[in-house]
């Protein structure tokens, strides 16, 4: 009797234990499924959030409509050192705020600078006036244009020996630039100050050399010289005529005798670009910054008449 009771009792506890294991197993599967479900739900939520953020950004961009893009565009250029690179550096912080980064490849423009622009190595240059650019286009078959006038550098007569025009003696020697447009400018101010008379035809061409002189009112000897060599050899002359940017770069302290005026001056320094880039947004922002009232004030205060901002319409 006791043996039978014991067997029944053992069987009861065995069945109970097996049932407990089954329940625990089912509960474990349920928790795992819940965990898996929670994990998948969290992953879906993350993607959804990213999509929503992107959607929000797209919506924001769409709502902004006419607002300027914040994407930065880089334009590369070559300039002369003074005042050109200084003016570019002055406006760079303002342009960065407008999404335009300006990279100056060189601050020493030379005979290859327009070729580099034409070939697409740079996006703009800033060192020349339009008559010079037009002559370069004609000679080389390029199609470079002006994106905007910025400033005038009046060509000026200087002397280390004399302080006024009246002091210049009979037989004085003067050096002038020998390139077509700047030689015309030098001869023109010699004419305006009573030294020579020019053939009237040069007024239409804006080009002249010493063969264009019809009369020497004063007895002077004119030396046509490479513009880069005039200041280094200035002691050889009684007076010399050069562009004011070269005088600024050389930091000369020579006496200023006379110079050309800025009004209606066709020799404004320009931002030169390829024709297809004239209306490029980044180029337009560059020109606008250089022509701004703030930059005009900077030019007037910094260069004391040696550089003059253009008169805008």
Is 134 contained in some domain? yes
Backbone angles phi, psi at 161, to 5 degrees: -110, -25
Is 85 contained in some domain? yes
Q: Write down the pLDDT at residue 11.
A: 52
- pTM confidence score: 0.68
Alpha-carbon torsion 128, 132, 136, 137, what sign? positive
Contact 133, 144 (CB under 8 A): yes
Give the span between the Cα atoms of 140 and 129, in whole angstroms: 17
Q: Write down the pLDDT at residue 70.
A: 63
Share of the chain above pLDDT 90, in %: 66
Please report the DSSP string for the chain in residue order. -HHHHHHHHHHHHHHHHHHHHHHHHHHHHHHHHHHHHHHHHHHHHHHHHHHHHHHHHHHHHHHHTTSPP---EEEEEEE-IIIIIHHHHHHHHHHHHTTEEEEEEES---TTHHHHHHTTS-SEEES-BHHHHHHHHHHHT--EEEEEEEEE---EEEESS-SSGGGPPTTEEEEEE-SHHHHHHHHHHHHHTTSEEE-TTHHHHT---GGGEEEESS-EEEEEE-HHHHTTTGGGSSEEEE-HHHHHHHT--PEEEEE---TT-S-EEEEEEEGGGTT-HHHHHHHHHHHSHHHHHHHHHHHTTSSEE----
CATH number at residue 292: 3.40.190.10
Domain extent, residue 108, equals 73-153+267-309
Q: What Rg value do the Cα atoms of the chain yield, rounded? A: 39
> Rounded mean pLDDT of 27-45?
38
Burial class, 158, CB count within 10 angstroms (exposed 0-12 / middle 13-18 / buried 19+): buried
The strand order across the sheet containing 172-177 reads: 220-225, 172-177, 239-242, 156-159, 255-259
Angle between helices 281-291 and 293-303 (to 10 degrees): 50
pLDDT > 60? residue 63: no
Boundary residue ending a domain (237, 259, 281): 259
The pair of structure tokens assigned to 247 is 């005088």
- Comparing 24-33, 167-176, 196-205, 219-228, the range with the smallest average pLDDT is 24-33
Is 29 contained in some domain? no
Q: Write down the pLDDT at residue 264.
A: 79
Instruction: Tell me the pLDDT tens digit for each residue of 232-274.
Output: 999 999 999 998 888 988 999 999 999 998 777 889 999 999 9
Is 37 contained in some domain? no
Q: Write down the pLDDT at residue 54.
A: 38
Give the rounded distance of the alpha carbon of 206 from its chain centre: 29
Is 50 contained in some domain? no
Whether 160 and 255 map to the same domain: the answer is: yes
Reported as a pLDDT band with limits 50, 70 and 90, residue 181 is confident
Strand partners, 164: none
Whether 161 and 254 map to the same domain: the answer is: yes
Give the number of domains in the chain.
Answer: 2
Whether 191 and 255 map to the same domain: the answer is: yes
Whether 286 and 229 map to the same domain: the answer is: no
Whether 179 and 247 map to the same domain: the answer is: yes
pLDDT > 50? residue 46: no
Whether 119 and 170 map to the same domain: the answer is: no
Is 183 contained in some domain? yes
Give the span between the Cα atoms of 54 and 220, in whole angstroms: 76
Burial class, 240, CB count within 10 angstroms (exposed 0-12 / middle 13-18 / buried 19+): buried
Whether 183 and 110 map to the same domain: the answer is: no
- Choose from 39-53, 57-71, 182-196 the range with maximum mean pLDDT: 182-196
Whether 79 and 217 map to the same domain: the answer is: no
Alpha-carbon torsion 219, 224, 228, 232, what sign? negative
Is 15 contained in some domain? no
Instruction: Tell me the pLDDT tens digit for each residue of 190-249.
Output: 999 999 999 999 888 888 999 999 999 999 999 999 998 999 999 999 999 998 888 988
Whether 243 and 211 map to the same domain: the answer is: yes
Is 21 contained in some domain? no
């Amino acid at each position: 009797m006791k043996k039978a009771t014991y067997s029944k009792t053992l069987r009861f506890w065995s069945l109970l234990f097996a049932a407990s294991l089954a329940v625990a197993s089912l509960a474990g599967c349920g928790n795992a499924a819940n965990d898996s479900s929670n994990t998948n739900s969290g992953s879906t939520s993350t993607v959804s959030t990213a999509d929503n953020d992107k959607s929000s950004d797209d919506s924001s961009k769409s709502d902004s409509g006419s607002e300027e893009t914040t994407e930065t565009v880089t334009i590369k250029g070559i300039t002369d050192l003074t005042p050109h690179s200084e003016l570019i550096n002055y406006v760079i912080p303002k342009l960065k705020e407008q999404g335009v980064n300006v990279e100056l490849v060189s601050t020493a423009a030379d005979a290859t600078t327009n070729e580099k622009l034409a070939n697409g190595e740079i996006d703009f240059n800033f060192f020349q006036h339009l008559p010079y650019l037009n002559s370069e286009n004609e000679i080389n078959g390029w199609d470079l244009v002006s994106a905007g006038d910025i400033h005038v550098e009046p060509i000026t007569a200087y002397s280390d020996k004399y302080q006024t025009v009246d002091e210049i003696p009979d037989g004085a020697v003067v050096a002038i630039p020998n390139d077509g447009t700047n030689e015309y400018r030098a001869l023109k101010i010699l004419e305006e100050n009573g030294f020579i008379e020019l053939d009237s035809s040069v007024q239409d061409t804006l080009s002249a050399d010493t063969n264009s002189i019809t009369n020497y009112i004063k007895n002077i000897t004119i030396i046509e010289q490479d513009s880069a060599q005039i200041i280094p050899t200035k002691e050889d002359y009684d007076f010399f005529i050069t562009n004011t940017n070269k005088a600024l770069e050389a930091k000369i302290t020579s006496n200023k005798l006379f110079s050309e005026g800025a009004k209606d001056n066709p020799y404004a320094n320009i931002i030169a670009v390829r024709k297809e880039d004239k209306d490029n947004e980044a180029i337009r922002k560059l020109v606008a910054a250089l022509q701004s009232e703030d930059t005009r004030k900077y030019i007037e205060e910094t260069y004391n008449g040696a550089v003059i901002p253009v008169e805008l319409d």
